[in-house]
Amino acid sequence: MRRRFMAAAAAAASAAALLAGCGSGTGGVAGGPYRVLMTAGLSAQGTLAGNAATSVLAVKTGVAAVNEAGGVAGREVKLTVVDDEGNPTTALTDIRKAIASDRPDVVINAGPSPVTAATLPVLGQNEILSFNIAPTEDSADPKKNPLNFDLTGNPEDYIRGFIPHLKEKGYKSAGIVHGSTASGVTFAEQMEPALKKAGITVAGNEEYDTAALDMTPQLQALKSRNPDVLIMDGYGAPVGHLLKGVEKLGWDVPIVGDNSVSATSLVSTPPPGGVLGTAQTENLVMQVYKSTVHEPDDKAVNDVVAAMAGLGKIESTLIMATNYDALPLIAAAAADVGGSDDPKAKRSRRRWRSPRCRRRPRS
């Protein structure tokens, strides 16, 4: 689909450097390998497994690039990946085991947000640096989680990307359909006032149960109010049910999907495994990062994608590759402050930007 628009993920490039050389530190043994633990739902069901695989592949690529450049302050990066099945309890158990046996310097997760919510308290208590791509309500709050950094934006960031596109298209009214997840509810709650502020009438705001197999009632309610555009939140199987429901109703309406929709492999896979190129996606545009869309002249991003492909099959869209940034950010911070052992020794306010998979707003 050519009719796509880009949105900002402001938090992705603003990780503060919390690294300095102060003798033995709170992470791995000083002078030894820089230990990275990654939890990912590799054996989870549906979309989550493919997304986790892409996220892991991105981190492996970042690790390889950093090691090739000399490591983190001279320390070789050692990556350990554990399969948390997308289960918060499993992820928490794996992290506790690692802390007890071979304490990591940093923990990276591949989502979803319940994993972030379950593990951040333990990581904070043990003063371990962490990066994630599945933010929670307070994961980016430096007062509550000073050693955690979100590599993707929060709903407020994404919504700021929606408004210019909607105004450019001249939409005067919008219907919102969203999942019952915490992120879906937050998205809808923040989208409604943002639309009103932009002078766009909210024709309806309907919530669906993510476990349901039919969202026709919610879609029918919105169709009856005749909005100019349908704003859709969804992830995984619900995206398919929503698109099928729109088709079933014969509703010819522009659909704008959030970043969760674009992270669903169904919409980026042709039949029979997906719906790319079918009537169901004819009116669909999705919110993505700049690096997700191929640009022949963007050598930095293309080099990373080629490196990822050289290590394994890329299972999902590049919106899941943002974890690549974690290691280059850490290495840059360590180089700036001259060490890597103590994550609390220095808190720099300097904005770091990954040299490759960057994200900038574009409409």
53 and 27 fall within a common domain = yes
Q: How far apart are CA 335 and CA 66, in angstroms?
A: 12
Structure tokens at 109: 């997760």
pLDDT value at residue 204: 97
Question: If pLDDT is split at 50, 70 and 90, which confidence band does 183 have?
Answer: confident
pLDDT reported for residue 342:
53
Q: How far is CA 128 from CA 28, 158, 317, 345, in A?
A: 10, 28, 29, 12
Task: Please report whether residue 358 resides in a domain.
Answer: no
- Band (pLDDT 50/70/90 cuts) for residue 350 is very low
* 280 and 333 together in one domain: no
What is the model's pLDDT at position 256?
97
Same domain, 179 and 249: yes
Cβ atoms 84, 116 nearer than 8 A: no
Give the range of the structural domain holding residue 53, as residue numbers without chain letter.
12-152+297-337
In this structure, what CATH number is given to the domain that contains residue 147?
3.40.50.2300
Instruction: Answer yes or no: do 145 and 168 share one domain.
Output: no
Does residue 16 sit in the same domain as residue 146?
Answer: yes
The structure tokens listed for 275 are: 């719906």
Read off the pLDDT of each residue in 68-78 and give the average, rounded to a whole number.
Answer: 96
pLDDT reported for residue 290: 80
User: Looking at per-residue confidence, does 251 or 259 come out higher?
Assistant: 251
Residue 1 has pLDDT above 60, yes or no: no
146, 172: one domain: no
Is residue 56, in this structure, part of any structural domain at all? yes
Flag whether 177 is in a domain.
Answer: yes
Number of structural domains the chain divides into: 2
Interacting residues of 105 by C-beta distance below 8 A, sequence separation 6+: 25, 27, 28, 34, 35, 36, 128, 129, 340, 343
pLDDT over threshold 60, residue 356: no
Judge if the upstream peptide bond of residue 272 is cis by omega within 30 degrees of 0: yes
Whether residues 239 and 330 fall in one domain = no
Per the CB < 8 A criterion, the answer to whether 169 and 162 are in contact is no
The pLDDT, as a whole number, for residue 138 is 87
C-alpha 275/C-alpha 278 separation (Å) is: 5
Flag whether pLDDT at 25 surpasses 50.
no
The last residue of a domain, from among 230, 265, 292: 292
Same domain, yes or no: 254 and 305:
no
Q: For residue 355, what pLDDT band results from cuts at 50, 70 and 90?
A: very low
Question: Is a pLDDT exceeding 80 seen at residue 155?
Answer: no
> What is the pLDDT at residue 4?
31
* In a shared domain, residues 83 and 113: yes
State pLDDT tens for residues 132-142. 988 887 898 99
- Report if residue 161 sits inside a domain: yes
Question: Which residue from 328, 322, 289, 291 is spatially nearest to 106, judged by alpha carbons?
Answer: 328
Label residue 61 by pLDDT band (50, 70, 90): very high
Is residue 122 a part of any domain in this protein?
yes
Dihedral sign of CA atoms 9, 287, 272, 216 in order: positive
Tell me if 350 is assigned to some domain: no
Residues 99 and 129 in one domain: yes
Q: What pLDDT, on the 0 to 100 scale, is given for residue 160?
A: 87
239: left (phi over 0), alpha (psi -120 to 50) or beta: alpha
pLDDT mean over 225-232: 98
pLDDT at 360 over 90: no
Residue 69 forms part of a structural domain: yes
Model confidence at 353: pLDDT above 50: no
Q: Answer yes or no: do 140 and 187 share one domain.
A: no
Average pLDDT over residues 230-244: 95
Both structure tokens of 125: 């208590």
Are residue 118 and residue 214 in the same domain, yes or no?
Answer: no
The pLDDT value recorded for residue 136 is 84
- 344 within domain boundaries: no
